[in-house]
Amino acid sequence: MIIMKITDNKSTIIYNRRLTMETLKINGMSCGHCTGSVKKALEEIDGLSEVTVDLEGKEACFENSGAAREEIRGAISAIGFEPEE
Q: Apex CA 21: angle with CA 69 and CA 4, to 5°?
A: 90
pLDDT class for 82, splitting at 50, 70, 90?
very high
Q: How many domains does the chain have?
A: 1
Nearest CA to 48 out of 60, 64, 70 is that of 64
**What CATH number is associated with residue 35?**
3.30.70.100
| Model pLDDT for residues 38-77, shown as the tens digit of each residue | 999 999 999 999 999 999 999 999 999 999 999 999 999 9
What's the domain range around 67? 18-83
Helix H segments across 8-68? Answer: 32-43
Q: With respect to residue 9, please indicate whether it lies within any of the assigned structural domains.
A: no
In-domain check, residue 67: yes
What pTM did the predictor assign?
Answer: 0.78
Residue 2 domain-assigned? no
pLDDT single digits (tens) 10-44: 444 445 567 789 999 999 999 999 999 999 999 99
Residue 6 lies in a domain: no
